[in-house]
Amino acid sequence: MTDSELMAKVKQGELRFMSDIFNRHHVSIYNYFKKMTGRPSLSEDLTQTVFEKVIRSKHAYNEQSAFKAWLFKMAKNSLMDHYRSNKKMQITYDKIPEQVSFYDDDSEKLDPDLKAKVHNALKRIKHEHKEILILTRFENLQYAEAAAVVGISENAVKARVFRAIKSFKEAYYNS
Amino acid sequence: MKNLILYICLLGFIQMQAQESYTIDGASGELYIHEINKVTLVGSNESKLTVEVDGKLYETPEKSKGLKLINPAGYSDNTGIGLHVSKDGNSYSFRRISNKKGNRYIFHVPKGYHVHYESSSYNAGTLHINDVEAELDVSANYNRVELSGVTGPMAIHSVYGGIEAKFSSVSQEGPISLYSVYSDVDVSVPANTKANFNLKVSYGDVFSDIDLSYPQSEDGFKHLNAKKFTGLMNGGGVDFTLKSGYNNVYLRKQ
Amino acid sequence: MEREEKIIAYLLNELNTEERADFESAMHADPELKQAFLSYQTSLSSLDKLAAETPSIELKRKFESFLKNEIAKPQAHQNNLRILSPLKWMGVAASILLAGFFLNQFIQDAPTNSDFNTINPEWIQTVSTGKTSERIQAIHEITDKNDLDPTILKAIEEVMYNDQSSNVRLAAVESLGQYVHQSEVQLMLIEALQKIETPIIKIEIINTLTQNKDDKAKDTFEAMLAKNDLNDAVRNELHTNIRKLENIY
C-alpha cells in the first residue's frame, strides 16, 4: 500500500495502519529533528509528537497531496512550536556538544573528523539554509515537496538551495 | 541560411506541439478543474471544449517506459495530455495526475459552460481567464487570478494571490464577487456599468475614480464605516463585491 | 549565470548536455575555476555522506503503546461532511418545513415577522441545483429579507457545511455573520470553525466572530492555536484577531 492508501485507511478510523506509517517514516522524521537540533532525546520527543499529530489531524489529510510533504510540514511546525515555547533554550542549542551522536552508527561512511566538520558547518549557517539542505540533500525531498514544507515557491526553493550550498561551503572551509 | 533552417525546424516544432490537445463535443456543460497548477481559460465560439497543452508536454522519464502513471485515487492519464478526465452526465472533471510541476493547460471554453476551478497547491501559477463569458467559480489558495474581457456572473477567491479583472461589460444576470485575503483586488469596469459595489477591506484602503453614490441606511444615517460600505454606480445594478483582508481594493472605470 | 552558480548548477545536475560540455572545457582551461569547483564538490560530498542515525528502540515502544491506547478508545463521532445530493436536500427541506409547521402551531402568537413560507421548495431547489451564482444570490436574498428564524438559520448552516462550492459556503458564512451577536449563531460559527477544514471559510468565520468582541471567541482562538496543526494563513488570522480582541491594534 502507498502512504496515501494507508492514510486513507487511518482516516476511515482504521488506526492500526498508523503502525505501518510510523515504521516507514519515523527514522527520517527523527533524523530531520536530530540534524536540526543536534539533540537525540528532544528529537525522539518531537518525533512522537508528529505521529500523534498525524492521528489527530487525519481528517485534514488530502489524498491528492504528497504524504511526505505533509508529514515534514507537520514536523517543521512542531519544531517551530517548540522553539516558540522555549525561546530561551534555543540559544543554548548550539552550545550543546555533539559528541554523543558522533559515535552513533554511521562512522563507516564519513570519518569522525570530517563528520565533525560537516556538523560544525551546519551549525554555523542560517537556520533556513540548514533546513533546506537537510530536506533536499539528506531527506531527498523533491523541490516541489520541500516548497510545500517550507511554504515558499519551488523557484524560491531552488534559489535557496543554491545559496545554502554556497554558505555551507564557506562554513565548511572556515571552521 | 542556417537561421532559416532553424526557423523552419522551430515552426515544425510548434506545429507538433499544437497537436497535443483533447476535445469534448458540445457547447454546454459543467467544467471542473481540480488541482491543475497552471491553467489558462479562453472563451470560445465553437461548440466544443478543447484542452490544449501549452508548450511541450512534460516528458516522463526513460525508466517509465512500459509503465503507467498511477495515483492512489485511481486516476490515470486518459486524455493523452497528462490529465485525467471523468464524465458524469454533461459534467467533466479534469485532474492533474503527476506530482511534477508540469505544463500550463489552455482550456477553450464555450459560452454555455459553467467553469469551476479549485487549487490548493503551493505550486499553483497564475490563473489566466481571457474573454470567457461562461459563469466562473474559482477557489484558489496560492494562485494569482488575472481576468480580462469577462462579464460575470462570477465568484472568485484566493487566500494568497491577488485578483486583477478587466470587465468588457458587467452582466446583470447574477452576483459578482472577488476576494483576496492577503493581496489586492484590482478591477476595471466600463463607464456605463450599473452595479451595487460592496466594498470591504479589513486592513487596507479602497481607491476609485468612479463617482459612486452612497445610499443612506434605513435609520437615516450615512454609513461612516470605511471598512465596509456600499456604493452605487449609475444608479445601481447587479451585486458586485470586492474584498481584501490585508491589502487594498482598486476600482477603476475604463 | 555567475561562476559560482554555474558550479552549483553543474553539481546539482541542472545543466543541459551542451552547457555541461561547455562548463567542463572551461574548467580544463581555467585552473582557478577547477579549484573552486573542487572545493564545492568536496564540501557537498561530505554533506551527502552524512548518514542516517537510528533512534532508540524506546521511541518505537512509546509510540506503539500510544497507538494501542488510541485504538482502544471508542471512535469519536465521525464528522465526515459530505456534499448533499439534491435528494438528500429535499429530505432536509422536508424536515425543516415540518419543524416549521409544528413550531407555527405552537407559537402562533409569537411576535415574529418571520414567515416559514420563505423556505419554499423553489428556494430549496435553487440552493441545491442552481448555478453557483444563483445559489449565492439565494443565500443573500433569504438573509437580507428575513429576521432571524431558526429554520432559515438551519438551512444556511446546511449550505455552509455542504455546498460543493467554497464560494457559496463563504456566502453562507457572510450571511450568518449578520446575526453573530445572537448567541446561537455565535455557537454555530464556533462549532463550524472547528469542523470545517477549508482555510478561506475558517478565515471568514474567525473575522466574523471577532466582531462580537467577547471572550468566547478569544478563548476559542487560543485553544485552536494551542492544539491544532493549522494552515499558516489560518494560524496568522487567529493571531491577528486575538490581538484585535485584546485591543492591541
Give the pLDDT of chain A (175 residues) as one tens digit per residue: 888 889 988 988 888 899 999 999 999 999 999 999 888 889 999 999 999 989 988 887 877 778 898 899 889 988 888 877 665 444 334 333 333 333 333 434 567 778 888 888 998 899 999 999 999 998 989 898 898 888 888 889 999 999 999 999 999 998 6
CA pair distance B167, B133, nearest whole angstrom: 10
At which of C27, C44, C61 does a domain end?
Answer: C44
Residue A88 lies in a domain: yes
B160 touches chain C (CB under 8 A): yes
CB-neighbour burial class of residue A158 (10 A; exposed 0-12, middle 13-18, buried 19+): middle
Residues A163 and A117 in one domain: yes
- d(CA A2, CA A25) in angstroms, rounded, equals 12
Task: List pLDDT tens digits, range B188-208.
Answer: 999 999 999 999 998 889 999
Residue A116 sits in the same domain as residue A62: no
A128 and A91 part of one domain: no
Domain finish residue from A63, A96, A129: A96
Interchain CB distance below 8 Å, A106 and C80: no
3-state helix, strand, coil in chain C (%, to 5): 70, 0, 30
User: Do A61 and A119 lie in a common domain?
Assistant: no
CATH of the domain at A59: 1.10.1740.10
Are C14 and C136 members of one domain? no
Do A59 and A139 sit in the same domain of this protein? no
Asked if residue C75 belongs to a domain, the reply is no
pLDDT for res A165: 95
Q: Determine the pLDDT at residue C123.
A: 78
Cβ of A113 under 8 Å from any chain C Cβ?
A: no
Domain that holds residue C31: 3-44
Beta-carbon separation of A44 and C229 below 8 A: no
The owner of cell 497552471 is B38
Choose the final residue of a domain: A69, A96, A123: A96
In a domain, A103, yes or no: no
Shortest Cα distance, chain A CAs vs residue B241, angstroms:
30
Phi, psi values for residue B160, rounded to 5°:
-105, -30
Are residues A90 and A133 located together in one domain of the fold? Answer: no
For residues C101 and C223, membership in a common domain is answered with yes
Task: Give the nearest chain A residue to C37 (CA atoms).
Answer: A169
Domain count for chain A, please give it. 2
In a domain, C167, yes or no: yes
- The count of CB pairs under 8 A between chains A and B is 32
The CATH number assigned to the domain holding C102 equals 1.25.40
Residues A92 and A114 in one domain: no
The set of chains that have 3 or more CB pairs under 8 A with B is A, C
Q: Count of CB contacts below 8 A, A vs C?
A: 119
- Same domain as C236, residue C121: yes
Cβ of residue A147 closer than 8 Å to a chain B Cβ: yes
Asked whether the beta carbons of residue B101 and residue A62 sit closer than 8 angstroms, the reply is no
Residues A12 and A76 in one domain: yes
Q: Name every residue in C having a CB less than 8 A away from some CB of A.
A: 4-5, 8-9, 11-12, 39-40, 43-44, 46-56, 58-60, 62-64, 66-67, 70-71, 75, 78-80, 197, 227-229, 232
Identify whether C23 is part of a domain.
yes
Q: Is the CB of residue B26 less than 8 Å from the CB of residue B48?
A: yes
Minimal C-alpha gap between A117 and chain C (Å): 9
Residues C38, C92, single domain; the answer is no
Same domain, C100 and C39: no
On whether both A20 and A82 belong to a single domain, the answer is yes
Task: Select from A96, A126, A152 the last residue of a domain.
Answer: A96
What are the backbone angles phi and psi of residue B45, rounded to the nearest 5°? Answer: -95, -5
Mutation choice for C interface testing from B111, B114, B181, B217 by most C CBs within 10 A = B181
Residues of C in contact with A173 (CB under 8 A): 39, 43
Verify that A22 and A54 share a domain, yes or no. yes
One domain, residues C37 and C100: no
- Spell out the residues 6+ positions from residue A99 whose beta carbon is closer than 8 angstroms to its own: none
- C-beta of residue C215 within 8 angstroms of C-beta of residue C183: no
Q: Which domain holds residue A83?
A: 1-96
A65 part of a folded domain: yes
pLDDT at residue number A153: 86
Q: ipTM score here?
A: 0.81
Shortest CA gap C52–chain A (Å): 6
**pLDDT per position in chain C (249 positions), as tens?**
688 899 999 999 888 888 999 999 999 999 999 999 999 999 998 888 887 888 888 899 899 989 988 888 765 433 333 334 444 555 555 555 544 444 343 333 333 333 333 466 777 778 888 889 999 998 988 877 656 677 788 889 989 998 989 999 999 999 998 888 888 899 999 999 988 989 999 999 999 999 877 788 888 898 888 876 788 888 888 988 888 888 754
Q: Give contacts of C170 with chain B, Cβ < 8 Å.
A: 155, 157, 179
Tell me whether strands B135-140 and B112-119 are parallel, antiparallel or unpaired.
parallel
Tell me if C60 is assigned to some domain.
no
Q: What per-residue confidence (pLDDT) applies to C132?
A: 92
Per-10-residue mean pLDDT, chain B, length 254? 52 50 92 94 95 81 81 80 89 85 88 93 90 94 94 94 96 95 95 94 90 71 68 94 93 93
Radius of gyration from C-alpha coordinates of chain B: 21
Tally of structural domains, chain C: 2
Tell whether A105 is covered by a domain. no
Report which of A126, C136, A69, C91 is spatially closest to residue B120, judged by C-alpha positions: A69
Q: Which residues on chain A are in Cβ contact (under 8 Å) with B100? A: 144
In this structure, is residue A58 part of a structural domain? yes
Grid cell listed for B18:
499544437
Burial of C236 (0-12, 13-18, 19+ CB in 10 A): middle
Note whether A101 contacts C48, CB cutoff 8 Å: no
Angstroms from A139 CA to nearest CA on chain C:
9
Task: Identify the closest residue of chain B to C241 by CA–CA distance.
Answer: B202
Instruction: Retrieve residue B45's grid coordinates.
Output: 465560439
- C122 and C16 co-located in one domain: no
Chain A 41-100, CB below 8 Å of chain C: which residues? 43-44, 47-48, 51-53, 55-57, 59-60, 74, 77
